[in-house]
A and B are shown apart, each in its own frame.
Chain A
């Protein structure tokens, strides 16, 4: 159990009373590169967010590096890369400023950035190929470059475990390849990666293990080659469900008191 970086045992997550994930048992060992696949709304993002404590679990337990999430505090070992926010925030921020916040888990309160911090931020910005844009406002970058900024922010913390939420969603092909290359370097250095993907794309050569979610349940865990013909091969049970043709997104109805997020 000691080399288990991330463990989810019988995890269920509900959002606003609706069950989104259930019966999730998942262990990721040190050095593994895992793709988390599934349709929109299958709970991929929720699983990653639950793994880093951004979503409370209803049942079951989450362990990071063998420590229960509730008492986990070694956040410098974890690098979370959220999906690129669609809107930029009210006040401009430079690439450097955003990436520098990736060092917060390693910095002491009230002390300025040390030499090691600056070196790590520079290295992270260079690693995603934005070295010449470090002093540019993030809002003037393309969508793919903005996703790379978020990636660099996580890299700056020099994490042992990286969790990436659809790093290639809405990202130009050039940036997808660069993100995949950077991840390959991290994997070669021994980091553990859990990557939410809509499709393998440029990440395919990197992925050793694929996990597939369908409607909140884990339906496949094995080599990525087994995923593609999932509909025909049925590696997980004998009966066949007809493919649904519903739209992926159900429009959300919001009342004024329902909350801003």
Chain B
């Protein structure tokens, strides 16, 4: 039984899968933190153009994909940071441009769209020894940077404004995350395929953050989930005739679904322990600022029932009439 797993092409596949399984969730944790979960998907779509460009020019599709992916990631970051379009609009623009560009270029190269299939869905069992080493080396760079620069990258992803006042060059770190994501996508292209790579960046993080208390533990947990899913997916495909890339993603999703009920319970227990704010009525705080008008049904402030009276939402305050003044509630 073990013979199949130990055959050279299977060993190569396992090593490449392990590298992807570790690197993708490491970058993915930062993307989820920045609410750019679909960025991996966007870069994957751009990579289609890169692969087609590689085929058209007769150079390495992987190399071309890395170059185009990095350029695309920088473009996403540029659009996002200048605020010309929101992050998801910027991603949508590149999604469709990337796919359409790839299909046009591949047909210019005299190929049908089927030539892209190995990159869209992965072809890990046909990976060469040279490709494995490139994958492992690039994944190692991604993982080392993600782990060693964690304090800086966490600060920037968590609170960009604060990071700026801590003297960090926010733009450099944002670009770095984008480039790391682009490299990871290009590396994972052969393992799980461009259309599924984002799953390996996001699903392990989603599984891990149900239980983790902190950022570092989320990332560590996600990397464990990622490598387990990658190895189990490839291993399964050795015995059952299923595509390894899709199997890796399904295993990761199954892991999430299986842990979900437990995660719900953990989350609920944590929420129950959120302390209640101190009783504001007991303090009887009056509004300190000068107050331009009387609150009433037509004053323009949102009126909300609060026990036996009505509070008027006043920015971040709730004003309740009390005698000749207003109380803070």
Binding site for B on A (CB under 8 A): 37, 39-40, 49, 52-54, 73, 75-76, 78, 80, 82, 85, 89-94, 96-98, 100-102, 104-105, 107, 109-110, 113, 135-137, 139-145, 150, 153, 157, 166, 169-170, 172-175, 198-201, 228, 230-231, 243-249, 256-261
Contacts and interface: CB of A to CB of B under 8 A. Distances in A.
Interface of B: 29, 32-35, 37, 80, 83-89, 148-149, 151-152, 154-155, 157-159, 161-168, 205, 209, 212-216, 218, 270-271, 273-278, 280, 283, 285, 287-290, 292-293, 299-301, 314-317, 328
B275 A141 contact: yes
Given A91-B215, A97-B215, A145-B275, A110 B315 contact: no
Interface of A is mostly: loop
11 contacts: A54-B165, A85-B159, A89-B35, A91-B33, A98-B158, A101-B159, A140-B271, A200-B288, A201-B288, A257-B84, A259-B83
A29 B258 CA distance: 60
A246 B214 contact: no
**Which residue among A82, A97, A141 has the maximum number of chain B CB atoms within 10 Å of its CB?**
A97
B170 to A, nearest CB: 10
Contacts of A101: 151, 154-155, 158-159, 162-163, 166
B214 A94 contact: yes
**Which residue among A101, A231, A245 has the maximum number of chain B CB atoms within 10 Å of its CB?**
A101
A38 B112 CA distance: 66
Nearest to A136: B213
A91 B218 contact: yes
Given A82-B161, A89-B35, A104 B148 contact: no
B29 A91 contact: yes
Contact of B85 (A80, A93, A257): A257
Contacts of A144: 277
A228 B287 CA distance: 11
Contacts of A109: 149, 152
Given A90-B34, A137-B270, A243-B293, A142 B277 contact: yes
**Which residue among A98, A102, A107 has the maximum number of chain B CB atoms within 10 Å of its CB?**
A98
B50 to A, nearest CB: 26
Contacts of B315: 40, 169, 198, 248-249
Nearest to B150: A97
Nearest to A256: B89
A106 B142 CA distance: 26
Contacts of B277: 142-144, 172-175
B92 to A, nearest CB: 10
Contacts of B157: 89
B166 A90 contact: no
Given A39-B289, A199-B287, A172 B278 contact: yes
A-B residue pairs, 9 tightest by C-beta: A199-B288, A75-B167, A260-B86, A172-B277, A259-B83, A247-B300, A94-B214, A245-B293, A101-B155
A186 to B, nearest CB: 17
Given A96-B214, A100-B151, A257-B84, A245 B299 contact: yes
